[in-house]
Amino acid sequence: MRHTSHLEVTPCTVADARGAAERWHYAPRMPVGRLICHGVWEAPRFVGAIIYGRGATPHLGAPYGCSSLQVCELVRVALAPGRVHPTSRALSVSLRLLARTNPGLRLVVSFADISQGHVGTLYQATNWVYSGTTAAANEYYFRGRWCHQREITSGAFGKGGAIRDYSNLPKRPAAQKHRYLYPLAPELRASLPSRPYPKRATPPDAPVA
């Protein structure tokens, strides 16, 4: 099928990326920390953002032989409904842009939230490596919502918002997530742990009346 609208993926402002995340992502808030933001346009319309960050831990790349400066996390794909171009196409263009403008990066990591029924269809369509699920962990109730430990210890809630002792906060088991890896350094792919892609559960057939 020939697309009639030109797809363009270029760096965008944090403000534009925040607007896309708050409007079009199922978790409508902006990630914390240093970010790389790519805007997606179907000229002349702005249709969303793809956002990369440092991830929830400084050891994100350690299992794969990458330093904290060689790895980033894909933290948001926030695109408007009703677009002409598929999400997989926009992500593929964004990954090429990321590699070209950040030559020191070797690996991108991303996660699919099992609690939302996600299996990582987007990552499978763009040839990511599946490495299994995350380890069991807890999340904590702080400032009106459930969040990861890193959020409450990093100052993500603004001035005076960081605390070190979260042992007395309400907690609950956090949902596990599927982990996907995308090597920006082609030679890295062969060394990455790879497992078969997970599939979305198919409901059993309804009983015949």
Average pLDDT over residues 40-51: 96
Residue 197 lies in a domain: no
Residue located via tokens 């953002």: 49
The reply to whether 183 and 83 lie within a common domain is yes
Parent domain of 94: 7-135+176-191
pLDDT higher than threshold 60 for residue 204: no
CB distance 133 to 193 below 8 Å: no
When divided into structural domains, the chain yields a total of: 2
The reply to whether 76 and 163 lie within a common domain is no
SS (H, E, C) 45-103: EEEEEEEEECCCCCCCCHHHCCCCCCEEEEEEEEECCCCCCCHHHHHHHHHHHHHHHCC
Q: What is the mean pLDDT of the chain?
A: 87
Query: What pTM does this model have?
Result: 0.81
Residue 154 lies in a domain: yes
156: CB partners within 8 A, 6+ apart: 32, 147, 150, 162
Residue 46 lies in a domain: yes
Residue located via tokens 């990861």: 148
Q: Please tell me the distance from the alpha carbon of residue 71 to that of residue 78, in angstroms, as a whole number.
A: 21
Q: What is the pLDDT of residue 147?
A: 75
Among residues 180, 31, 194, 203, the alpha carbon closest in space to that of 120 is found at 180
Residue 198 lies in a domain: no
Residue 123 lies in a domain: yes
Q: Please tell me the distance from the alpha carbon of residue 18 to that of residue 11, in angstroms, as a whole number.
A: 13
